[in-house]
Amino acid sequence: MLAANENVFNYLKYKLRKKNVDIDVRRQGVVFLTLYLTRRCNLSCDFCIVSTQRDGKNLMKYEMSVDQCEILMNRPLFKKSLYVMLSGGEPLLNDDIGRIIRLLKHQKRIVAINTNGALLQKKIDELIESRIDSINISVYDENVAALRRIVPFVAKNIFTKLCKVVTKDMLDDPEKVYEAASLACESKCGGLYLANVLPGPGTNSDLTAKVIFDDDPSYEIFKRRMKKKFPHLYVNYFAPLQRNPIMKTCEMPWYFCVVDNQGDCGFCCYDSLCDKGNVFDEQQGGIYSRAPWPQVRGMLLDESNSARSSSFCKNCYLLNDGWSSRM
């Protein structure tokens, strides 16, 4: 993947060029693309950002096929995307998962997948044969027992990270986090990624009571206990949600897109509902330079920090001092 190709050059342009309000997709396209392979899921988590989108819809309409994936990846906006994350729903429910991965690898892209792991036993051979680059496995109460049986084998064959959502109550009673950390250590995973509860568009319940904020003294105590108990495990600690952010650190509108098989797009993870336009509606990826995105980029570049009070960004959990969206 280190060999020079247009996908790598596209990433370098994002890193080296000055950030502007407008982006010409003939010169620079999306670097990090999340593909929704399905809207179906075999779990129902209250913090899921796409859970309510499944209600009352023809879910099979959103099942990504190999042909649909190839058409999407040939759009100017995505043609030079270096990193592709396969997500959903639960992406392993998609029967074309292996062929989709092989298509993306043939296009010289780095390919990863987010999964709850429930279908890994059935799909692991296909994932290995398709040469996927990495796998992120979410650890929940419902799946931890099954993961103990399969994760060691997965981690031996594919670069594997475990992911765990941490709720406010776990700071004082971290046994469930310890359980995920122990599994990561025992299975020789590449690390444990912890995530805050981040209520956003699509969440189907009020999660405010579970969010960890920056004024919670238990968070630093929790981190110290984790580091003492698991000194040799790489742990990616989230930054607590800031109540009064001062700085603007988000770079997503310059490099990121999430898209489903219908071509419906969003350009930040807070916009994961994919309701800001369709990539097939306009020539040359013009959606990338259509409202609200030029305005959002302009606000993020504005030294007066007006983005904090904008209608689009004001509730975003990335717009803070402690967590940057830089790749």
A 10 A CB-CB count for 127 gives: 20
The domain ranges of the chain are 6-11+30-309
Residue 152, Cβ density class (10 Å: 0-12 exposed, 13-18 middle, ≥19 buried): middle
How far is it, in rounded angstroms, from Cα 135 to Cα 106?
Answer: 18
Q: Which residues of the chain have pLDDT under 50?
A: 1, 54
Q: Are strands 265-266 and 83-87 parallel, antiparallel or unpaired?
A: unpaired
How far is it, in rounded angstroms, from Cα 285 to Cα 280?
Answer: 8
Strands annotated E in the chain: 32-36, 83-87, 110-115, 134-138, 159-166, 191-196, 235-236, 256-259, 265-266
The answer to whether domain 6-11+30-309 has CATH 3.20.20.70 is yes
The pLDDT assigned to 46 comes to 60
* pLDDT, tens only, 160-192: 999 999 999 999 999 999 999 999 999 999 999
The pLDDT assigned to 54 comes to 47
How far is it, in rounded angstroms, from Cα 268 to Cα 32?
Answer: 10
| Tally of residues, the chain | 327
How far is it, in rounded angstroms, from Cα 69 to Cα 37?
Answer: 9
The two three-digit tokens of residue 276, written as one number = 């800001």
How far is it, in rounded angstroms, from Cα 130 to Cα 150?
Answer: 18
